[in-house]
Structure 1
C-alpha cells in the first residue's frame, strides 16, 4: 500500500506526479515549510506551528494565511495519520506561491502539500551517543526579515550538509554574516556556560524554532536563567554543555566540538520534562 500525502486538500498516493516545471517553489524557492512532530496520532505544539506559519506567510505576502490555524493543522495531521495508518512520525507542510510570472508573481495564491514520514517513537528520545560538531565557515547566513523563516530557499543548509559529510561530523554550527553563532544544520543552538543558558537571539538570523521557544520556557520554569544574545563562537571552547533543538527530534545533546567535550545533565533533564508535556 503506497503512502499518502495531502495536496491542496486531496489525499493522494505520494508517487502521483503533481508539480509542473513552472512551479515557483522549484524555480525560485518561493515558499516556506513547517517541520512538525506527530505523536499518538496528534500534532504536537500545533498553536506554535500555526503562529509561525501564519507569520511567515504574511511576510511572503501569501494569501489565505488565516486558513492555517491550529485547528486546521491538527485536523489535517490527524487525517493523514489515519490514511497512512501511522501514529508517530515527522510531518512536513510546504506552502508555496501557486502563481505564474517570472521573479514578479502574477498573484499570491497559496498552494500546499502535507507529507508524513512515520517512525516508531511515541516520545522524544535522548541521544546517548552525543553529536560531534564542526563549524561551517564556507558560507554565512545573511541578516534580514526572512532569516527567521523556514523558506524553500535552503542552499546554505545544503552546502553545510555537504561540509558535514566531508568533515565526518554529525552536525555543524552555522555563523551569521557578522561571524556570530546562528544555528545548526536544522536546529537551534543552546549553550550552557557558568550555569546560564544562552541561545542566539532572533536578531542574529536564526530560525524562530518552535522547540526553541518551548525549551526556553521549560528552562525558565526550572529556574535556569536564559539569555537570547549575540554569541561569539569562542564560547564553544569554554561551555559546560551544548545541545540542539528542533520540533521533530526535540533536544539533541552535543558531546563535542573540536577537542572540547561537554556534559549532558541539563539536556537530559529537559528531555524528561519535554516528554511530561
Structure 2
C-alpha cells in the first residue's frame, strides 16, 4: 500500500515514462523513521523538505504544512502490520510535461513504507570495512546537499564496494576531501575532537548529522568541529563512524591497514536512544 497524493491505494498507476522524477531526476525525498505513531525528527524533515522544494523551484501547495505531512504519513502507517517501527520514504516530484524545461512547477507526492526490525538504534560491533571511491566526485554546490533522485554516484560507489568486498565507500569532492559515505554522514574522532565535514564541502545536509552534532556538543571532554577531512586524516583517526536516520550510528572498524575503536560511537548511540525514547 502507498499514499499517493493523500489517497491510500495499491499503486499510484502513474506511468514512469511520464514521471519527471524517473526521466530527469526531477524529484526530492525524505527518508524517515517512525516508531509506532511517533515520527522521529518530524520538524527537521519537514523544514528540509520545504527548503529543498524552494531550492528546486517547486511550487509548494498551500496545504503542505507540517501537520499535513504528519497526517499523511500516519494515514499509511495505520495500515501497516508492523506497529513497532517503519521506514518511510516521502517523495515529491514535479508533475508536468516538457523536457528539461517543465511546463509547470506543480508537484505530487508518493509515500511508501517498509518494516524496520527495531524502534531503538542498535549498536553494531561487526566488521565494517570501507574504501575511498575515486572514480567520480561530489561537486561542492547547494544541490549536492539535497536529497534528490540524482544519486548515481552513491549507487555506483555502492556497487563498487560490494564488488570489492567492502561494506561501504567514502565519497570525495573535487578537492579530494572526504565528503560522506554512500548512505550517511562521516564523523571522525581524533584525540578529544569529533570532526565532520561542513556543508560547504558538498555533503548532504543530514537530519541525523544535526542530531549527532548537538549530542557531541554536550559531551564532556569532547570538542565538536566542522572542518575538511583529507584521506590522509582517516588513517590517523581513533574512530570513524557513519550516521543516518535509519541506522543511527554505524562504526567503521577498518580503512585500509588501519583498524578503529568504537567507544565514542557506542556512547553516542546510547545518548541518541535516550533522545528518541
Task: Identify the TM-score tier after normalising by the shorter chain.
Answer: over 0.9
Q: Cα gap change, 1:112/1:179 in structure 2, threshold over 3 Å: closer, same or farther?
A: same
2:40 equivalent to 1:44: yes
Q: Secondary structure at the match of 2:92?
A: strand
What whole-Å deviation, never above 9, does each CA across 1:1-58 have from its counterpart, x for those lacking one? Answer: xxx11011111114x5323412101110001111110112221000000111111000
User: 1:67: Cα distance to partner?
Assistant: 4.3
1:151-186 Cα offsets, whole Å, 9 max, x none, are 111111111111111111111100011100100011
Which position in structure 1 is the counterpart of 2:138? Answer: 141
The structural deviation recorded for 1:72 is: 2.4
Aligned structure 1 segments of 4 or more residues deviating by more than 6 angstroms: none
Counterpart for residue 252 of structure 1: 250
- Residue matched to 1:263: 261
Question: Could you tell me how far apart the structure 2 residues matched to 1:70 and 1:170 are?
Answer: 36
For residues 45-97 of structure 1, give each alpha carbon's deviation from its aligned partner in whole angstroms, at most 9, with x where no partner exists: 00000111111000001111664443223222221111123321211111111
TM-score, structure 1 normalization = 0.95
Given the alignment of the two structures, is residue 213 of structure 1 paired with residue 214 of structure 2, yes or no? no
Separation (CA, whole Å) in 2 of partners of 1:68 and 1:183: 31
Distance between the aligned counterparts of 1:112 and 1:19, measured in 2? 14
Aligned residue number for residue 122 of structure 1: 119
> Equivalents in 2 of 1:153, 1:68: separation in Å?
24
Contact 1:243 1:253 in 2 (8 A): yes
Matched residue count:
273
Are residues 1:155 and 2:148 paired?
Answer: no
CA distance in 1, matches of 2:13, 2:68: 25
User: Residue 204 in 1 paired to residue 187 in 2?
Assistant: no
Does structure 2 conserve the Cα–Cα contact (< 8 Å) formed by 1:38 and 1:77? no
Q: Where does residue 27 of structure 2 map in the other structure?
A: 31
Which segments of 5 or more consecutive residues in structure 1 lack a partner in the other structure? none
> 219, 222, 229: which one pairs with 1:222?
219
TM-score by length of 2: 0.95
Q: Could you tell me which residue of structure 2 aligns to residue 232 of structure 1?
A: 230
Q: Distance in 1 between matches of 2:218 and 2:272?
A: 12
